[in-house]
A and B are shown apart, each in its own frame.
Chain A
Amino acid sequence: DSGVTQTPKHLITATGQRVTLRCSPRSGDLSVYWYQQSLDQGLQFLIQYYNGEERAKGNILERFSAQQFPDLHSELNLSSLELGDSALYFCASGKSPVDNEKLFFGSGTQLSVL
């Protein structure tokens, strides 16, 4: 168990809908990363937060947004969903904003857009 908790594990929704994915980092970790994993693209970095502040952005669509709350949990909001948004969404946490060798991943949320 990595100590990173993601909910829900599975999400099935329809095109045009909005969903929220939740992540609780490991105890003591201040940095949260969101990744999207699809079969053809592999793991793609979406966005990083450190201690409540946005730290870095990757290939995140404008329809997607995230935030990190004072208790350090993070939420990824996906809106106007399209079929192509179906993927595994992972959250990872680390102690510092530069911990690229010590990321701990959650078990992911499998999103299916029908």
Chain B
Amino acid sequence: QKEVEQDPGPLSVPEGAIVSLNCTYSNSAFQYFMWYRQYSRKGPELLMYTYSSGNKEDGRFTAQVDKSSKYISLFIRDSQPSDSATYLCAMSVGTGTASKLTFGTGTRLQVTL
């Protein structure tokens, strides 16, 4: 079993929909949680970064962490065609451990007109 599980999709939604992307993990030591967006033929770019449990909002994006359930989510409001990309969750045990970031395999999102 992988440490981080992520549904590969693809997930297809109409423009304007609310999107929910999720990851589950097995390592209870993870404390730092990130979401990366990766467009086709491009490298991942950091979207959201959260520490421990709770919610964090940035524009149309909300990251949610539930450590008791070992479950993290990324919500995208008012989705746009430009949000079509693969979304990767990543997590680490602590700061200073960039080398030990554990990534999910990514969920491919398609937002249609």
Contact = CB atoms under 8 A, between A and B. Distances in A.
Interface of A: 2, 4, 31, 33, 39-45, 48, 55-58, 90, 92, 94, 97-108
A48 B43 contact: no
B45 A98 contact: no
Contacts of A39: 105
Nearest to A43: B103
B96 A98 contact: yes
Contacts of A58: 99-100
Interface residues of B, number: 23
Given A100-B32, A100-B101, A107 B43 contact: yes
B98 A100 contact: yes
A106 B46 contact: no
Contacts of B32: 100-101
B100 A105 contact: no
Nearest to A102: B46
A53 to B, nearest CB: 13
B45 to A, nearest CB: 7
B98 A103 contact: yes
Contact of B95 (A43, A45, A98): A98
B11 to A, nearest CB: 17
30 contacts: A2-B43, A33-B99, A40-B105, A41-B105, A42-B103, A43-B88, A43-B103, A44-B103, A45-B99, A48-B98, A55-B99, A57-B99, A94-B98, A97-B96, A97-B98, A98-B95, A98-B97, A98-B98, A100-B32, A100-B95, A100-B98, A100-B101, A101-B49, A101-B95, A103-B98, A103-B101, A105-B43, A106-B43, A107-B41, A107-B43
Contacts of B88: 42-43
Interface string B76-112: 0000000000001010100111111101111000000
A31 B103 CA distance: 19
A4 B103 contact: no
A99 B98 contact: yes
Contact of B96 (A33, A43, A100, A104): A100
